[in-house]
Amino acid sequence: MTAVKIDSSQATALRRMIDQAESIALVSHTAPDGDSVGSSIGFAEILKGMGKSRISVIVPDSIPQYLYCIAEADQVIIHENYPEKAETALYEADLIFCMDFNAPHRVAGLRSALENASAPKVLVDHHLYPADIFALCFSYPPLSSTSELVLRLTKAMDMADSLSQEAATALLTGILTDTGVFSYNSSDPELYIIVADLMRAGADKDKIIQNTFQENSEGKMRMQGYVLYEKMTLLPEQGTAYFTLSAEELKRFDSRTGDTDGLANMPLDIAGIEAVCFLREDKEQIKLSFRSTGDYPVNVLAENFGGGGHKNAAGGEFRGSLQEATDKLLQLWRDFNPKNYRKN
């Protein structure tokens, strides 16, 4: 069981900061996902329920199409599309929430504006190794998601009465997507009390699952079949698997933002496979997504690519060709012994 208790003095200090703020901005990481978007919108809706009206939710780049089922997702400011509007919202804010990321470099092109904004910055996150730039730091890596943390924080500040159906739906979306519908990072019984609270507030679990996992494009489904049949390489002696997708292949399947979400988890359904890496050719670099089961620490591997994350879910980047990134990965796997990092 995750023995997590929000520090009461910090919660009181944050409540005071919220009460005094007139303009609030919430910013999340590049390549937005269900938890970053869900936690940000969910918290924004809670703040609105407290009477706060000048609230901006900002992301560095495009939101996956499937997340537009969340109310207010179409009101999120995308810095890539509206840089001046996004940066002005940060500069004019009295209080800035940094949602679901641990350091400024995770907001990509928004980094300069975030670092130069004069408002106090509050971290609300569940990743390891938070930076030391925050006025208040609510960092709880044992939790399933930042969305779970938002509701815990809301309760600690005696703001639970401000939980609307819209907020609950956004937060439950974040929890469901960051746990793969309770497939990982979800063994704490307390999580299900949080889920029950969200459902009692009006969040429809079944509808969220349908909207986020079962409304796929034809191209996405065909790409999944292509990956499993033609691209997936198994290394059974190491208990690992990997696959790559080039920019040309992504174009072939008309891949949209979010279409590759979840692909890295699929080989983990094969008996004997403990860790997976998905290498994707992006505009300027190779993106690596690591997933694992049990005590296999893929965050340690991701550190070799300038990244990190959770033990079972991490990411990194590589400057070079897809083949060079693959060669480096395979060499790391040949030398890597996960038993050195497992729990005794």
Q: Evaluate whether 40 touches 25 at the Cβ level (below 8 Å).
A: no
Q: Evaluate whether 76 touches 45 at the Cβ level (below 8 Å).
A: no
Query: How far, in whole angstroms, is CA 247 from its chain's centroid?
Result: 23
Task: Provide φ and ψ at 61, rounded to 5°.
Answer: -145, -170
Low-confidence residues in the chain, pLDDT < 50: 1, 344
Distance CA 208, CA 138 (A): 27
Q: What is the pLDDT of residues 34-60, one digit of tens each?
A: 999 999 999 999 999 999 999 999 999
Q: What is the pLDDT of residues 298-327, one digit of tens each?
A: 999 999 999 888 889 989 999 999 999 999
Q: What percent of the chain has pLDDT over 90?
A: 88
Distance CA 57, CA 96 (A): 10
Question: What 3-state class would DSSP assign to 46?
Answer: helix
Residue among 236, 245, 239, 286 at smallest CA distance from 264: 245
The residues with which 278 forms a beta bridge, in sequence order, are 243, 289
Amino acid at the residue 11 = A
Report pLDDT for 268: 96
pTM for the predicted model, two decimal places: 0.90
Distance CA 216, CA 141 (A): 31
Distance CA 67, CA 329 (A): 31
Report pLDDT for 225: 96
Domains, the chain: 8-213 (3.90.1640.10), 218-340 (3.10.310.30)
Place of tokens 């007139």: 22
Report pLDDT for 284: 86
